[in-house]
Amino acid sequence: MKTPSVKTLVLSVAASACVALSSQAASVTVDPSASWQGFMNVFEIPQNGGGYVFGSGWGTADLTATFSGTTLTLGPNTINDPASFWYTPSGGPGAIGNKTMDASFYIETTGVYTGQTLSFSGNVLANTLAGKVNQIGNGWTEVAFIKDFAPDYSSSVSTTVALTPGVFNLSLPTINDPARHVQYGFEVIGSDVWATDVAPYGNVQVTAVPEPATAALLGFGILGLVVGRRATR
């Protein structure tokens, strides 16, 4: 048996180190086939004090969040309820939103990414919602996020990044507790808009980016295999 070359040994050790590091890290992107969920936290508008009202699971179409192929479109939040609770003076074309809606469109896992550094990436194709305001001057905030919740959701740690055009990448070291819930996704925060009035305010379009860590690791492994074969000829 021939003795492996020093170069082969170095590559082998480096590949092992990469595998060890990869076990402590994970990366995700914008996958239209994943099980996306919706949640809404509702607040009074700033003009009415901004206090918290309630939170609840929410239909993703009302967030507004929809996939067309691989592209996700996020828009101002809407609700098909004409009550004055939601709109001033009541719901209908031209109505003024009477609540601030913090809409989350996200993937949730429990015990999957705990104890790892999770990275979430995507490519913002366009954001025409940024900077827009409604009739009384209330605008919207659009972010990508990773959140690490306690088992009973009583507390969390999180990181966010604004959805400006181009590639985003954010990372969060999660707490090593298999009962914790890790979420990643998007939030659009701002006044509700009657459904037929949404289009003029614009939207955000997001899609996936390749996962370079996986591709690089695969390529490195192939390189090590090729060099190793050459060294034993």
Question: Three-state SS string across 158-198, please?
Answer: EEEEECCCEEEEEEEECCCCCCCEEEEEEEEEEECCCHHHC
| Residue whose C-alpha is closest to residue 233's, from 3, 10, 15, 7 | 3
- Determine the average pLDDT of the residues in 96-117: 97
Phi then psi for 48, rounded to 5 degrees? -110, 20
**29-88 pLDDT tens trace:** 999 999 999 999 999 999 999 999 999 999 998 899 999 999 999 999 999 999 999 999
What's the chain's average pLDDT? 86
**110-160 pLDDT tens trace:** 999 999 999 999 999 999 999 999 999 999 999 999 999 999 999 999 999
Domain residue spans of the chain? 1-29+214-233, 34-210
- CA 58, CA 80: separation in Å to the nearest integer? 12
CATH of domain 34-210: 2.60.120
- CA 192, CA 184: separation in Å to the nearest integer? 23
